[in-house]
Amino acid sequence: MASVYAVAVVMVLFHVGALGVFFTGVSTATLVVAGTLYVIRGLGITAGYHRLLAHRSFKTSRPVQFLFALAGCLAVQGGPLWWVAHHRSHHRNTDLEGDVHSPVTRSFWHAHMGWMMSREAFQEKGANSRDLHRYPELKWLQRFYVPLIAGQAVLLYALGAALNALFPEWGTSGAQMLVWGLFLTTVVTWHITFAVNSVCHTWGRRPFETGDASTNNPVVGVLAYGEGWHNNHHMYPFSARHGLEWWQLDITWWLLRGLEKLHLVSELKLPKAYR
Ligand SMILES: [Zn+2]
Ligand SMILES: [Zn+2]
């Protein structure tokens, strides 16, 4: 139960911390750092945790896989093995009993973020992510997830304080860098990620009859770097591309295509009808 309270406390702290933006002011340096981290962490979740680790939608080298997973870790959504295990269980029991975050069997709030503050979020013993246990570097990320997040906080604070000492005219500070670079950006990414579980199983179009309530929601589609084309995703979970139509913006897919051209990823999986 300790973990349940810990998650609740962290979530409240981050939300309250994000309100710090009204007190710390802002500077160009802070916006650049926060914006860069925001994009890297988001893509760490979509391309790394989700399409690579959970669904094995493409192939890559161990170092690149590690960097994807590290970027995902920094988003404060749990370690990679925990995240993957629960996500796979969502696909196995979508919108049925056993789905830890379904707005159909439970409430919208439970699907959005309540489930992480319930016992269910800690019942998954990791059998669902067993295949990833052969990568000690992923187990390492899982084990040292909390110190990594703490380290991220300390480094951001130190960076802001150092910039303030070196370039006082830039108007940045340790607290400002921490609040924008960690609290605000993390909370925004949280709610966009969580919306895939709540909004994209509630509102939107369902071009495919998938036997669950998953939807394509254009707003979440764009904000979540392509993950909101969620009915497509439940139809073809293995696909590296979620926005299957040309007009379904899928930034994660663009990233993967770019990395493929640089020979950093390969064998991007696609449904037969969309090759
Ligand atoms: Zn889903
Ligand atoms: Zn998925």
Ligand nearest to the Cα of 87, by number: 2
User: How many whole angstroms from 85 Cα to the centroid of ligand 2?
Assistant: 11
User: How many whole angstroms from 88 Cα to the centroid of ligand 2?
Assistant: 7
User: How many whole angstroms from 54 Cα to the centroid of ligand 2?
Assistant: 7
**70 part of a folded domain:** yes
User: How many whole angstroms from 201 Cα to the centroid of ligand 1?
Assistant: 6
User: How many whole angstroms from 163 Cα to the centroid of ligand 2?
Assistant: 40
The 8-class DSSP code of residue 216 comes to B
User: How many whole angstroms from 123 Cα to the centroid of ligand 1?
Assistant: 19
Domain count of the fold of the chain: 1
User: How many whole angstroms from 108 Cα to the centroid of ligand 1?
Assistant: 13
User: How many whole angstroms from 87 Cα to the centroid of ligand 1?
Assistant: 8
Ligand nearest to the Cα of 103, by number: 1
Per-residue pLDDT of the chain (275 residues; tens, 9 = 90+): 568 899 999 999 999 999 999 999 999 999 999 999 999 999 999 999 999 999 999 999 999 999 999 999 999 999 999 999 999 999 999 999 989 999 999 999 999 999 999 988 887 767 789 999 999 999 999 999 999 999 999 999 999 999 999 999 999 999 999 999 999 999 999 999 999 999 999 999 999 999 999 999 999 999 999 999 999 999 999 999 999 999 999 999 999 999 999 999 999 999 999 98
**132 part of a folded domain:** yes
Q: What letters, b where the CB count within 10 A reaches 16 and e where it falls short, cover 101-123?
A: bbbebbeeebbbbbbbbbebbee
Residue-number span of the structural domain to which 165 is assigned: 2-184+259-274
Q: Counting beta carbons within 10 angstroms of the beta carbon of residue 233, is it exposed (0 to 12), middle (13 to 18) or buried (19 or more)?
A: buried
The C-alpha R_g of the chain, in whole angstroms, comes to 19
DSSP H helical segments within the chain, as ranges? 2-18, 21-24, 28-43, 62-73, 80-92, 108-112, 136-143, 145-166, 174-178, 185-198, 218-223, 230-235, 251-261
User: How many whole angstroms from 167 Cα to the centroid of ligand 2?
Assistant: 44
**217 part of a folded domain:** no
User: How many whole angstroms from 149 Cα to the centroid of ligand 1?
Assistant: 26
Ligand nearest to the Cα of 197, by number: 1
144-150 long-range contacts (CB < 8 A, ≥24 apart) are 145/73, 145/78, 145/79, 148/70, 148/73, 148/74, 149/73, 149/74, 149/76
Please, which residues bridge with residue 59 across strands? 266
User: How many whole angstroms from 91 Cα to the centroid of ligand 1?
Assistant: 7
**196 part of a folded domain:** no
CB atoms < 10 A from the CB of 269, how many?
17
**252 part of a folded domain:** no
The span from the CA of 232 to the CA of 215, in Å, is: 8
User: How many whole angstroms from 103 Cα to the centroid of ligand 1?
Assistant: 10
pLDDT in the model for residue 2: 64
The span from the CA of 166 to the CA of 162, in Å, is: 6
Ligand nearest to the Cα of 50, by number: 2
H/E element, 60: strand 59-60
The span from the CA of 142 to the CA of 233, in Å, is: 26
The span from the CA of 275 to the CA of 167, in Å, is: 52
Q: State the pTM of this model.
A: 0.96
Position 3, amino acid: S
pLDDT in the model for residue 39: 98
Look-up of token digits 């969502």: 90
User: How many whole angstroms from 33 Cα to the centroid of ligand 2?
Assistant: 29
The span from the CA of 73 to the CA of 149, in Å, is: 8
How far does CA 169 lie from the centroid of its chain? 35
pLDDT in the model for residue 123: 74
**96 part of a folded domain:** yes
SS3 225: coil
Ligand nearest to the Cα of 216, by number: 1
**94 part of a folded domain:** yes
Ligand nearest to the Cα of 196, by number: 1
Contact 80, 53 (CB under 8 A): yes
